[in-house]
Structure 1
Amino acid sequence: MPSLGQAEWQVPWWFANPTALQKASLVLKLNRVPGWAEWVLLNRPKALVLHIVRHPGGFLNSAVKRYLSAQDPVMLKRNNDERLKQIIESDSRWAERFGDIAAMSIDELELWYWCYANEVIYLAGHGRPNYVHLIYEDLVAEPLQFMKSIYEQCNLPWTIEIEKEISQTASQSQSIATAWHKKLKPEQVELIRRILNSSFMAQWWED
């Protein structure tokens, strides 16, 4: 159906119950969009923003496995250079922290953007009632505890069925969260520590 092949489309009556759809909670999962998250936090106080921050080691391991290894390294390097340069143009304070962008590896470029994006979102949301900050490793260690709290904040019912589904879904998450310790190279781990130690976020993990 060509009408459903657009970027946006009205949900057909036969696809979902219109009344139920109007009552449904809208949930958007977005990765590394600091500008969008900051705008929502500052301009939409009724919109709850869940900021889940993964350890940079887990982030880099996942990025290499799922994304970076499949990209043209020359184009990826160019795009990532430009991304950090745009950050400096909008906030010159990052220039000193970044240092020489041209000399950075792709891993370092990705990690600096991880640092920038999470700092911006946290600083915009910290202390606001519509902001929830979650450390990914804590979440997967105690998924029921954290998710029950989120359900309460969203005024959603908590049932035995939901509890079972969350437990099953999260059963392998903790091993995935710590896989980077064995997967990353020593030079990558050192790079992570250097960048993380330059940020207030270092206190969020014991590693």
Structure 2
Amino acid sequence: MPLPFLTADRAFDDAVEDAALPFHDRDRWRRPYRPGPWRVAAAALLLLLASYVLVAAVVIAFAGALPGAGLCVCLAALVIGAALRLLRVGTWVSARGLRRVSFLRTQTVPWARVASVRTAQQPVRWLGLPRTVQGQALMLVRHDRPAGEGATLLTDRGADFLARRTAFDRAADAIEVWADEYRPTA
């Protein structure tokens, strides 16, 4: 079964070096990088947990406690949904704008509101935890926000790029190219 969100940047792998935006349908939302091994491992563990909960639901159903089995099936559905949402987390681009997908919310910024997308050396969160380390971050600066306030799109210490420095550089470059291509020049 193909999982398109796991092979998001296959076109980047197969593209010619001089074609920065190798997609024909640029109105479709795309993540220009693959999810990292930490994110995929966490989702796989959640799916493994869901399979155990589903087996427990079957055992409970055969024991005759249908309300308990229904509760287990609902819990497994929630865990499966959480695993799929975890795989969707990241920065997505299209001709319409830039989309930041977090676990609980999604924020879309049209290219007209984007002032710049740049890489900055700064303290970043390690795997999204409260601990900060020195690293690189891809920052989004918007026209409708104060000049010093920028949103972090990607970090090289996040779940997608930890120990994958070249993947972070490629993803940051790809998102910067999308921004340069579609951001209106003032």
TM-score using structure 1 length: 0.24
- If the length of structure 2 is used for normalisation, what is the TM-score? 0.26
Q: Kindly indicate which of the two structures has a greater share of residues assigned to strand.
A: 2
Higher relative contact order (CA 8 A, sep 6+): 1
